[in-house]
Structure 1
């Protein structure tokens, strides 16, 4: 009788232990650690594609059409700027790297199939869940791709997708002046279910001369 009772109790303990374990496995919890990413920024003509899961990066030239505009004014100060040259696109979306999360053209960000929210929090480790608010996706914009003829007032541009919300990570204070890195945490939700937090650290290296992309990030659903 005692042997049967002991066996029954052991069986019940195994069932409860198994249930608890399964419940934990199916309930994703925020990662309690943050990782750091840092890489040289690209030139104006290229994009830095970042796979945050592996840390792998790919640099690729802007594939869209490049349009060159010459900036001129007449004696009255009226704008006579006009397009003087166009270079055909060299590729399409299918020619871009297939696995990436965030891309930067110099410091202009683009998110792959995702939306971004700039929070009011400054500590990336304070979050226990993703913050609520109005997350914003990419929008069409213009990026500068060629400044080699700037002295002749000729600048090359390309149309691209830019995430204006994430672009708030860096604020310009004027031509040739130091920029201001936001101290806010950015929340990013991807359509594939991945969720992350980003906290930017710097836009130039220790010498203050070479452009970089530097941020901490934390995966929130693993």
Structure 2
């Protein structure tokens, strides 16, 4: 009986030990990978008349109406500039549908597609935001940036556009635009390129547009990003 009891206890001990090791390895395998950057997923950009402002330090966002002057393509009418709403975050980039502006940054397209490969501030030709007047953009055969703000008169050919919007061209070029000749008139995509934004105070950030549709539903008019903010030293 003593021998039987000893063998039984040994079997239980080995079983518990084996389970402990098994659970240990399962925990190791199931542990989520810690990324060296932050992510923002499914930022809704369907509205035509707003900008979504993003703080790359915290990931906080606020959406506010566009307060600039609008011009109507059909009639030439003008909506005067409005009183801008106060923005309650320290924003770094803002998105209007698939166009981008920065809060005083200059931007470089690194040509890389892996955030982990951009760990130091690279040398290169950085591009600040630029004003693109409606009168100049409307006559371009291709590559025009006309920021649609009021679509109420679309059927009558009287869309309201931002008159003198300031946008960042390298960031805008992170979105691909493929004309269809039908509906929808443009299919949007993303290049997966990693961009570097730098500010005069020495701070800088990396940003990658990772998707242009909702990650679950596949619905358009959503953007997702990888990003990392590096404070000034």
Global fold match (TM > 0.5): yes
TM-score, normalization by structure 2:
0.70
Question: What secondary structure is seen at the aligned counterpart in 1 of 2:113?
Answer: coil
Determine the structure 1 residue equivalent to 2:189.
Answer: 180
- Separation in 1 of the partners of 2:88 and 2:156? 35
**C-alpha deviation, 1:207, in angstroms:** 2.6
- Between Structure 1 and Structure 2, the one with more strand by share is 1
**C-alpha deviation, 1:133, in angstroms:** 0.7
**More displaced, 182-191 or 32-41?**
32-41
Equivalent of 2:96 in 78, 102, 105: 105
Runs of 4+ residues over 2 Å off in structure 1? 94-98, 175-180, 206-210, 219-222
CA contact (8 A) 1:117 1:188 kept: yes
TM-score, normalization by structure 1:
0.74
Determine the structure 2 residue equivalent to 1:164.
Answer: 169
Q: Are the structure 2 counterparts of residues 98 and 56 from structure 1 closer, same or farther at C-alpha, using a change threshold of 3 Å? A: closer
Flag structure 2 segments of 5+ consecutive residues without an equivalent: 1-34, 133-145
- Residue 192 (structure 1) aligned with residue 196 (structure 2): no
Q: CA RMSD in A?
A: 2.0
**C-alpha deviation, 1:98, in angstroms:** 5.7
**C-alpha deviation, 1:107, in angstroms:** 1.3
Equivalent of 2:54 in 11, 30, 50: 50
Map 1:50-199; keep pairs closer than 5 Å. 50-70=54-74, 82-83=75-76, 85-91=77-83, 95-97=86-88, 99-141=90-132, 142-158=146-162, 159-175=164-180, 176=184, 177-199=186-208
Question: What secondary structure is seen at the aligned counterpart in 2 of 1:154?
Answer: coil
Question: What secondary structure is seen at the aligned counterpart in 2 of 1:125?
Answer: helix
